[in-house]
Amino acid sequence: MTGAPVRTQGPDIQSGTIMDRSRAGRRAFSFPAPDVPEAAVPEEFARRGRPALPEVAERDIVAHYTRLSQMNYGVDTGVYALGSCSMKYNPKIAETVASLPGFQRAHPQQPDHTVQGALELLWRLERALCEVTGMARATLQPPAGACGELTGLLLMRAHHTKQGNARTRVAIPDSSHGTNPASVRLAGYEALHIPSDARGLVDVSALEKLVDEDVAGLMLTNPNTLGLFEEEIEKITSVVHNAGGLVYYDGANLNAILGRCRPGDMGFDIVHINTHKTFATPHGGGGPGAGPVGVTEELVPYLPVPSVERDEATGEFRLSADREDSIGRMHGFHGNFGVLVRAYAYVFLHGSDGLQEVGERAVLNANYLAELVKEAFPLAYPGRPMHEFVATARPLRDRTGIRAMDIAKRVIDLGFHPPTVYFPLVVEESMMVEPTETETRETLDGLAAAMLQAAQEAKTDPDILHQAPVTTPVRRLDEARAARHLKLRWS
């Protein structure tokens, strides 16, 4: 009898980069011979050498990227409690609706009479979003929340320009989202920073002193970036309005107040909505996204065109560009239609009662989790948070030297995606946690247990936290070094 076959050690094709699989001459595709003469490439556009691209078979490509996808952590695999980001599970019914042939195969240049169903969907979605926010009309064009911000600011500028005074500054709280000051600059304004008070809310007395007739408006979200409801919101909007400014609602935290109160009723003039945060459409990956913007009646003339209008006599829908003072287009055609279909499915699947429950459960889950971890990670500001909370690891750092980043890395090893750390910037060692309404009590218990275990290990075995994560394909990166020494080329 012969012994067992000897297995030789070959190349590890289950790991490495796609370049490690490259073999000269391999192809995943082939083109037929051209049936027209080849055109000469102008000398200035000709390559000086072969591009450094991998040469692999189709089978290797599929295996490589499928393996990479299985290494990813996402909203379909576990809780993703990134504060401020609202990483919610996306119900698959919305994907089914978006894949219906009548929606999926529609072309944006089809005549209006051939896409009546698609236009009706947009018309009904606009009115539903206006009902949710308390606005008069909305545009569905912006392809993301940041573009929604820019759209809102351009609407603000158009309004003031029409009044004969474009103004130069826009007020933003010191705890605002990072996109707010960036959008302000992009719209041609200067950012006027408004400080927070000891409660983590807008310092109204400071606001009154800083806002004048040169301030075009205030950008604000409520609940704010600390997860706290602005108790003096009506006074805040009144201060800005008395100076002739407009108040813009950053919809990042709209999911916290669904069905309970509306930005329009608080005094906001412009509202943008992140459909991925509020209505569970796909999030991240660079898009596509959607950032509808609603406005009060006074600002309707400036909305982007085209808009979907309905002929009351015939009931037919059409795209109309009949707005003389419009700011123009903010996106090609009429926004990212497939994402808007998903938002429509989510809104009308839940209805008004269901959307209210979404908000209530988001707030309940955040408060439940905050209560579980408060001994190790106390709230940064007193009071009851809304859909997210900002805790601080500062007491742990002062006692053990372990920082919020160390806790986050250790939580990865314990099977959970960590919360947002070091944002907002106004809180030392901040840990911003948003479990969303989609997670069960058992999941929240597990995340709390992981955070508390990491806090305990900070006292008993801090080296574990300094080394974490150790179970991931890539260990902890030197982020400071990476930022200072960028490597943007392959070789």
**How confident is the model at residue 346, as a pLDDT?**
97
pLDDT digits (tens, 9 = 90+) for 54-76: 999 999 999 999 998 888 888 89
Residues 6+ positions from 121 with CB-CB distance below 8 Å: 103, 340, 341, 344
**How confident is the model at residue 178, as a pLDDT?**
81
Type of residue at 73:
Y
Q: Which tokens sit at 332?
A: 């090609």
Q: Which tokens sit at 38?
A: 């080849």
- β partners of residue 320: 307
Contact 240, 249 (CB under 8 A): no
Residues 6+ positions from 232 with CB-CB distance below 8 Å: 201, 202, 204
Residues 6+ positions from 301 with CB-CB distance below 8 Å: 323, 324, 325, 326
Q: Which of 167, 290, 175 is nearest to 221 (CA)?
A: 175
**How confident is the model at residue 284, as a pLDDT?**
66
pLDDT digits (tens, 9 = 90+) for 20-58: 999 999 999 888 999 999 899 999 999 988 888 999 999
Rounded Cα distance, 262 and 132, in Å:
7
Neighbours of 78 (CB within 10 A): 16
What are the structural domains of the chain?
Answer: 92-349 (3.40.640.10), 351-484 (3.90.1150.10)
Residues 6+ positions from 217 with CB-CB distance below 8 Å: 156, 170, 171, 240, 245, 246, 247, 248, 269, 270
Q: Which of 187, 136, 149 is nearest to 166 (CA)?
A: 187
Q: How big is the CA angle at 297 (ends 168 and 192), to the nearest 5 degrees? A: 20
The whole-model pTM stands at 0.89
Rounded Cα distance, 46 and 74, in Å:
42
Neighbours of 157 (CB within 10 A): 21
Burial class (CB in 10 A: 0-12, 13-18, 19+), 367: middle
**How confident is the model at residue 10, as a pLDDT?**
43
Residues 6+ positions from 180 with CB-CB distance below 8 Å: 149, 172, 191, 219, 250
Rounded Cα distance, 487 and 5, in Å:
45
Rounded Cα distance, 35 and 355, in Å:
58
Neighbours of 286 (CB within 10 A): 6
**How confident is the model at residue 82, as a pLDDT?**
94
**Digitized pLDDT (tens) for each residue of the chain, 491 residues in all:** 444 444 444 445 566 889 999 999 999 988 899 999 989 999 999 998 888 899 999 999 999 999 988 888 888 999 999 999 999 999 999 999 999 999 999 999 999 999 999 999 999 999 999 999 999 999 999 999 999 999 999 999 999 999 999 899 999 999 888 889 999 999 999 999 999 999 999 999 999 999 999 999 999 999 999 999 999 999 999 999 999 999 999 999 999 999 999 999 999 999 999 999 999 998 866 567 899 999 999 999 999 999 999 999 999 999 999 999 999 999 988 889 999 999 999 999 999 999 999 999 999 999 999 999 999 999 999 889 999 999 999 999 999 999 999 999 999 999 999 999 999 989 999 999 999 999 999 999 999 999 999 999 999 999 999 999 999 988 888 888 888 988 877 55
